A and B are shown apart, each in its own frame.
Chain A
């Protein structure tokens, strides 16, 4: 199974801050990576597919980049509704998820 390592595991930020989360794959996965947001007690929501394609209806402050083994999720200006846990997931082979990054209010 392809291992995904997310960092940091948690961060504290303020409304308006720029936030970057990284995801490193244990082997090259081309652009076969998705990002999800999960609010407490809710199902995950797909934000970005194929490393950089924003899903319909997702605010443009979210962006994704990378290919191969290194990927990033960026939130350009953090909003109150963005405080949540974020996961990366690869679909190059049998799906695996990163360990998650919890974004908390500073």
Chain B
């Protein structure tokens, strides 16, 4: 059974930083693209970033470019998201998601809440 478990969320002040982690199990981690998707309170879904199987390619939504960094450790079956220069509008539940074939996100974690507030 595929499992994705996020951690690292919390309350942070504007301008602060946070590192999210996603521990994966139940599938061959290094064979799949992985993404972070977020959902602001009461709002819709927004893709944030994704990373290729070997970590050689990374893509970001425009609103986080230069502030967020996605990475992975295939030896540890773990995905990460470094969040810097946080803004109030980054407040959201952050999900890690496994990309399926031919596309779409076929497995999701339970999410971790990031709150940016003074």
**Chain A residues engaging chain B, CB cutoff 8 angstroms:** 1, 32, 34, 36, 38, 43-46, 49-50, 55, 87, 89, 91, 94-100
Q: For residue A1, give the distance in angstroms from its CB to the closest CB of chain B.
A: 7
Docked pose: A50 CA to B104 CA in angstroms:
8
8 Å CB interface, B87-104 against A: 95, 99-100, 102-104
Contacts between the two chains (Cβ within 8 Å), count: 59
Which of B7-15, B16-24, B71-79, B105-113 lines the interface with chain A? B105-113
The answer to whether B27 has its CB under 8 Å from any CB of chain A is no
Q: Is the CB of A32 within 8 A of B100?
A: no
* Given A1-B62, A43-B109, A43-B110, CB of A87 within 8 Å of CB of B104: no
Q: Is the CB of B59 within 8 A of A49?
A: no
Q: Which residue of A lies closest to B101 (CB)?
A: A49
A100: chain B residues at CB < 8 Å are 44-45
